[in-house]
A and B are shown apart, each in its own frame.
Chain A
Amino acid sequence: MGMNDFWKLCIKNKSVTVPAIIIVSIMLLAVFAPMITQYDETRQDLLMRLVPPQSGHIFGTDELGRDVFTRILYGTRISLSIALFPTAIAVAVGTALGILSAYFGKWADFAIMRLADIMLSIPGMLLAMVVLYTFGGSLSSVYIALVLMEWGSVARVTRAAAEGILENDYVLAARAMGVRGYAIIFRHILPNLIPSIIVLFTVNIPSSILAESALSFLGIGIQPPKVSLGLMAGTSKQFLFQMPWLSLAPAGMIMLLSLSFNFLGDALRDVLDPKRRAV
């Protein structure tokens, strides 16, 4: 399926557009946070601690009197950046290595795939913890951890897909005619892979969001005064039953984001796979 067909099918499909619209609106909220809220995400007001939801503070305030709604907007910024950037890098790196592996075969294939095996045989959480402890609990270490966690499986999938493409008659013909290297990769393999790459990207995003929240829960992810959704949900666990707005609001946002991306990923996959569409 070419890119144009893919887009057309996507736009027509409601199970693609609805989650996509939700995601885009959340992104807009996060990007334009300073215009939406009058508060500063770190500004404390010790006289307004743990105020329940009310006008002025629609999600109430936290243990230092900061507006929870404001913090969710800013937290979404960081959580979205964690969801998008490392996943994009992991998909790019994974795809590149996967294609190289499939195209060159032999020792390159062996080296790249063993490297992927090594990454994939370390439980993700342990790998992330090692990275975070090595580089400290900063935003960039969370990025590094997530890239390391995700590129391996992407490389495996794209390698398999690229191998399939290489076996196509027209590619074999092109190679037999002496078309080599970049031409094959950029003219034949990559364009055909793009839809699957988009799906891979989408389905990896929720796992990035959840991984960040797990790390923040363990106290080794994003560190205050920075704020992420996972950190908000994690630090407010004590108040879950007495002041539920503190953890339910960020947890709800995490859920909304991952659900939307999951739905989007599913729908995109359906669009790609005609057999499933037929059912």
Chain B
Amino acid sequence: MKKRSIALMLATVLAVTGLFGCGASSGSKGDLAGKTANESSDDDSTLRLAISTDIVSMDAHRTTNDYLVPMNVFDTLFAIRKNDDGSTEIVNSLADSYEISDDGLVYRFTLKDGVVFSDGTPLTAEDVKFTFERILTLPESAQTDFVIAIDGAQELLDGEAESLRGIEVEDDLHFTVTLAEPFAGFLSQLAAPSTVIYSKKIVTDAGDDFGSVPEKTLGTGPYIVKEWKRGSGLVFEYNPLYWGEEPSAKRVEVSVMEPQAMNMAFQKGDLDIIDCLFLDAAVIDSTYKTDAYKDSLVSVDRMGLNYFMLNENAEPLNDVRVRRAIQMAIDRQSILDSIYSGDGKLEDGVYPTGCIGYSEENQGWLSYDPEGAKALLKEAGYGDGFDMEIDVDSSATDAATNTIQIIAQNLSDAGIRANINTIDHASWLDLRNSGDMSSYLALWILDFNDPDNILYTFFGSNENTVIRSNHYPDSEVIARVGAARAIVDEEQRMEEYAALEKKLVQDDAVWVPMFSLKHLFVKSSRVESFTPQWAGWSDIYFTGVVLK
């Protein structure tokens, strides 16, 4: 009997600990936050959004994917405004004014007066210098390309210098930046979320908590992060110390949801904007391209190129005729129509529609020609076809996975036996960076509106062609890509970019240009108007949403 009572006691203790565990944690922060979230959802000034995977860092220097926090909690020196005709222009943000020297090398900036971070720390020119130096010295920095144009940046990156020579702080509001060589895209880079300005004091005080702990990740932007529950979502609140115009949404709740859950939540009125990128075209067609939602659809051109990359480091893809045959074998229009229900436009070059440097002359030359592809393959000595591998990132969207399966079928119709090899994201990146990936489908969306952004990334140096698993061999062309960014005369620069585009895609068949897509969003009846990010990113500026 005694033993039984001990057992009973033990069982009770276990049960009570369990309940206490539940009770204690339910009484704490989580539950309260949950309640306030529920209550304020009914509030008119709360915007409710969904993302499909949680962000991993709030620090713009440590990510190239998750710009939600950098875009809404921090500010850049400049901003991009998109005009009604689709053109873009650079406007001041934290910068109040600037002057450029005649040789295009020296930029003198004046900061807006009176800007403070959300804890009251004033913004100074020293913070700008600190930010740029941090981009170059942080070991896992993902943004070094954005400030590499500055004089002395390479030395700092290589650890050969102590500070960034090209930035000189005059006083709290004035500083000059000297470039290593003229670069027309520099101001555009300063408008990208990659170069948001941090406070030296806040970042230094926070240490490793910066970018991970909301209370310590403070910026000058319109919002502060109130709460971040990993895997669950984020809550933003209006920053009362924000220097700019007060946004319409005072509170923004971003939840992590599976696509089908987003769909249900939006239809039930629990989401204010749904990103159609996560939904299949058939679902969008049958649910949202209907009379009921016709006026709620918001469409923006995604300034990005979907491309199918071919690695030239091995046979038979090193033969230009084989690559050209692949260009001709893929039925791009069918893919666009069936997978994306036609919401996009075929692209034949490097710079997507809307990108500065986009050349009409380089368009329209590529058409679907399976017979021609077979003939070319025969000419190249591959009349019986060959085996090739397409590497797919397992975290790719369903649409991308489906596109690859169609490409594989197109290729097999031309006699090329394409084997689809699906690997996880990390291994995929590793393989691509090693330069040994045979072929892959990917998308490049502009970080800043300049042809240099896309051209330099892929063909700016031998190193870059390896990282992209491309191995483009013509070093003369590579040198021209590097030199093009320094051409001061704008007209001359654009001519050179158009010539390079023709050489790379038409003459050398370096990749298969696929298409650019429209990015659709649907807004609920609570939203008056919604302006997506200019390049059509999934991450949006909350200030672009006006609630009713």
Q: Which A residues lie at the B interface, using CB under 8 A?
A: 42-44, 46, 49-50, 63-65, 133, 136-137, 219-220, 223-225, 235, 237-243
Q: How far is the CA of A242 from the CA of B405 in the complex (A)?
A: 23
| B260 touching A137, Cβ below 8 Å | no
Whole-angstrom distance from the CB of A226 to the nearest CB of chain B?
9
Nearest residue in A to B337 (C-beta to C-beta)? Answer: A46
Which one, B150-158, B310-318, B394-402, is touching chain A?
Answer: B394-402
Is A240 a contact partner of B408 (Cβ separation < 8 A)?
A: no
User: Which of B279, B286, B422, B426 is close to A224, meaning CB atoms less than 8 Å apart?
Assistant: B422
Contacting residues, chain B, for A223 (C-beta < 8 A): 392, 394, 420, 422
Tell me whether B406 and A63 are in contact (CB under 8 A): no
Query: What are 12 A-B interface contacts by the 8 Å CB criterion?
Result: A42-B405, A43-B409, A44-B409, A46-B337, A64-B405, A219-B395, A220-B394, A223-B422, A224-B405, A224-B422, A225-B420, A239-B280
Of all chain B residues, which has the CB nearest A44? B409
Asked whether A49 lies within 8 Å of B282 as measured between CB atoms, the reply is: yes
Given A235-B398, A237-B258, A238-B283, the answer on whether A137 and B263 have CB atoms closer than 8 Å is: no
- Which residue from B260, B402, B423 sits with its C-beta under 8 Å from A64? B402
Main secondary structure on A side of the interface with B: loop
Which residues from 363 to 412 on chain B have a C-beta closer than 8 Å to any C-beta of chain A? 392, 394-395, 398, 401-402, 405-406, 408-409
Q: Does B290 contact A (CB under 8 A)?
A: no
**B334 proximal to A (CB < 8 A):** yes
Interface positions of B from 451 to 478, Cβ below 8 Å from A: none
Contacts A224-B420, A240-B260, A241-B264 known; 7 new A-B pairs at CB < 8 A: A46-B334, A49-B282, A136-B423, A137-B394, A137-B423, A238-B263, A241-B260
In the docked arrangement, what's the CA distance between A241 and B282, Å?
A: 12
Give which listed residue, B264, B338, B394, contacts A219 with CB less than 8 A.
Answer: B394
Which residues of chain A have C-beta atoms less than 8 A from B334's C-beta?
A: 46
Q: How far is the CA of A240 from the CA of B338 in the complex (A)?
A: 20
Point out the residue from B260, B394, B402, B422 that lies within 8 Å of A63, measured CB to CB.
B402
Which residues of the partner chain A approach B395 to less than 8 Å between Cβ atoms? Answer: 219
Residue of A nearest to B282 (CB): A50
Chain B 268-312: CB-based contact to A (< 8 A → 1; otherwise 0)? 000000000001101100110000000000000000000000000
Q: Which of B279, B420, B424 contacts A220 (CB 8 A)?
A: B424
B337 to chain A: which residues have CB within 8 Å?
46
A-B contact count (CB 8 A): 68
Residues of chain A with a CB closer than 8 A to B280's CB: 63, 238-239
Contacts of A243 in B (CB 8 A): 282
Inter-chain contacts of A65 with B (CB < 8 A): 338
Contacts of B394 in A (CB 8 A): 137, 219-220, 223
Asked if B405 and A133 sit within 8 Å, CB to CB, the answer is no
Complex Cα distance, B311 from A40, in Å, reads: 30
Q: Which residues 406-440 in B have Cβ within 8 Å of A in the complex?
A: 406, 408-409, 420, 422-424, 426-427
Do the beta carbons of A238 and B259 come within 8 Å of each other? yes
Contacts of A133 in B (CB 8 A): 424, 426
A243 CA / B420 CA spacing, docked (Å): 27
Name the B residues within 8 Å of A49 (CB-CB).
Answer: 282, 338
The smallest beta-carbon distance between A240 and chain B, in angstroms, is: 6
Q: Which 5 A-B pairs have the closest CB atoms?
A: A223-B422, A46-B338, A238-B260, A50-B282, A237-B260
Give every chain A residue within 8 A of B406 (Cβ-Cβ).
44, 46, 64
Chain A residues with CB under 8 A of B287: 242
B405→A239 contact, CB < 8 A: no
CA distance A43 to B422 in the complex (A): 19
- Closest residue to B409 on the A side, CB-wise? A44
Q: How far does the alpha carbon of A41 sit from the alpha carbon of B260 in the complex, in Å?
A: 25
